[in-house]
């Protein structure tokens, strides 16, 4: 089979190589899955660079989120067991963690439903307890993680403010349903949020960016607001001033979705049931901006790493043969 492999650490476009390799052999409690679609996540780029908390042994195949096909033909969502990741024709995954792919979504959409939407659901509902009528601010609202949070916020009845970088991404955020869109390249984010909220600020702030975005969040969070720290796509990890959180009476909430797999896996199943219901009635639908063949995987991971994409970019191996995604 063909698979992208990383033999040394560095930028994805420089260290990812498409090679002919043997199919992986499932271990105890694992299954072999035919990869129908593999969603690209920012952690894939971080793993290539050696900057992620998970560091699989070299060589490894990136790709942490797939829609796969079992031997009986059923479609499932899975997080492949590294080093045999999803940017390949076949991957292995833990059988106990498989989730049924929603019928309402095609392969690429289903592949993109798992990590980003689970993270959004846990962040907004489990951690921040977002309520209908509250104001939700989402940083990087046109990206893969942000777009999921926007849709989930709207589905929960929140007023959603999306912060983006650039006119093209602003247009995507509007299409996603943001009530207010702020282009950080041409607008003063702090002033724009205060104007949009009548000076009150946002009740919940969803931050996958860190750095300057986090600093802005502390200045526009409402009384008894909640800042959900999801990641640091900016590459800058802020050091929060806890006296500021005390004086302004807001909460800083960390979210590491992967921990639920070991600490409380039943919640992941419950979350998937909620997401499937939302997808079935059309309340959420992953924004897939690009479907690329397996041969385009390395370049696509680099584009995600560079922050120039919107929504989700998904690798679809069958596109090599001209089949539908």
The pLDDT tens digits for 89-130 are 999 999 999 999 999 999 999 999 999 999 999 999 999 999
- 30-39 vs 66-69, strand pairing mode: antiparallel
CB distance 222 to 201 below 8 Å? yes
- 180-183 vs 159-164, strand pairing mode: parallel
Mean pLDDT of 276-304: 96
Closest by CA to 45, choosing from 15, 82, 81, 83, is: 15
CA trace torsion 65, 109, 123, 164 (10° rounding): 110
36-68, pLDDT tens digit by residue?
999 999 999 999 999 988 899 999 999 999 999
C-alpha to C-alpha distances, 250 to 154, 220, 228, 243, nearest whole angstrom: 22, 11, 11, 11
Other CB atoms within 10 Å distance of the CB of residue 207: 30
Q: pTM to 2 decimals?
A: 0.92
- 30-39 vs 312-315, strand pairing mode: antiparallel
Return d(Cα 316, Cα 285) in angstroms, integer: 18
Specify which residues 33 forms β-bridges with. 91
């Amino acid at each position: 089979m063909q698979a992208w492999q990383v033999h040394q650490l560095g930028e994805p476009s420089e260290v990812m190589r498409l090679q002919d390799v043997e199919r992986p052999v499932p271990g105890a409690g694992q299954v072999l899955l035919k990869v129908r679609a593999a969603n690209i996540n920012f952690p894939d780029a971080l793993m290539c660079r050696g900057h992620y908390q998970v560091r699989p042994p070299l060589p490894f195949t990136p790709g942490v989120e797939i829609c796969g096909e079992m031997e009986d033909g059923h479609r499932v969502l899975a997080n492949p067991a590294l080093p045999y990741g999803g940017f390949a024709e076949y991957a292995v995954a833990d059988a106990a963690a498989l989730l049924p792919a929603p019928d309402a979504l095609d392969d690429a959409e289903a592949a993109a439903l798992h990590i980003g939407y689970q993270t959004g659901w846990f962040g907004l509902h489990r951690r921040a307890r977002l309520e209908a009528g509250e104001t939700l601010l989402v940083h990087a609202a046109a990206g893969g993680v942000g777009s999921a949070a926007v849709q989930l916020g709207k589905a929960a009845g929140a007023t959603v403010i999306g912060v983006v970088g650039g006119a093209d991404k602003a247009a995507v955020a509007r299409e996603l349903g943001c009530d207010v869109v702020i282009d950080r390249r041409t607008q003063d984010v702090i002033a724009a949020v205060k104007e949009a909220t009548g000076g009150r600020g946002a009740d919940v702030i969803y931050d996958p960016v860190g750095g300057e975005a986090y600093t802005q969040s502390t200045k526009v969070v409402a009384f008894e607001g909640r800042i959900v720290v999801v990641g640091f796509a900016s590459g800058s990890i802020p050091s929060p001033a806890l006296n500021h959180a005390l004086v302004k009476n807001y909460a800083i909430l960390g979210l590491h979705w992967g921990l639920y797999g070991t600490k409380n896996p039943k919640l992941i199943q419950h979350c998937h049931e909620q997401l499937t219901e939302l997808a079935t009635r059309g309340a959420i639908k992953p924004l897939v901006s690009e479907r690329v063949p397996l041969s385009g995987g390395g370049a696509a991971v680099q584009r995600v790493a560079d922050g120039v994409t919107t929504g989700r970019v998904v690798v679809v191996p069958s596109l090599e043969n001209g089949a539908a995604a």
